[in-house]
């Protein structure tokens, strides 16, 4: 899988510990090597991982080599970005997006209010 700088890779084996058990919100990028928009999103997520490190953990999961987690969250398209808070998915976004829009969408989801 293509490495995204500053973004850890998780697998079916360690997803629950790394994502659901994390002490802060986690943004998971469901990705694949053959996915062009996933590559477009890589620098955006690298920047997010660096700038938001104090309040957000950013990881990626390869859908081709991790079918269990991909199926558990019914991921049908790449890239899918899913934000987990307290072990639960609180929002899901499909497709590449500019950093400004991603930050805005995450800010809304990270506010301390019940998930929609």
Active site residues: 35, 38
Query: For residue 79, what are the CA distances in angstroms to 12, 28, 114?
Result: 17, 10, 25
Q: Name the token pair of 55.
A: 């309040």
Token pair of 31 as six digits: 């990705």
Sole residue written with tokens 């080599």: 65
Q: Cα dist. 72→63, 65, 69 in Å?
A: 11, 14, 5
């Amino acid at each position: 899988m293509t490495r995204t700088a500053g973004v850890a890779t998780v697998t079916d084996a360690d997803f629950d510990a790394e994502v659901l058990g994390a002490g802060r919100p986690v943004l998971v990028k469901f990705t694949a090597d053959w996915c062009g928009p996933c590559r477009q999103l890589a620098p955006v997520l690298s920047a997010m991982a660096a700038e938001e490190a104090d309040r957000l953990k950013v990881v990626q999961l390869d859908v081709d080599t991790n079918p269990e987690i991909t199926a558990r969250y019914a991921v049908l398209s790449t890239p899918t970005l899913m934000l987990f808070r307290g072990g639960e998915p609180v929002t899901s976004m499909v497709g590449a997006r500019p950093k400004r829009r991603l930050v805005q969408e995450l800010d809304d989801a990270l506010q301390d209010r019940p998930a929609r």
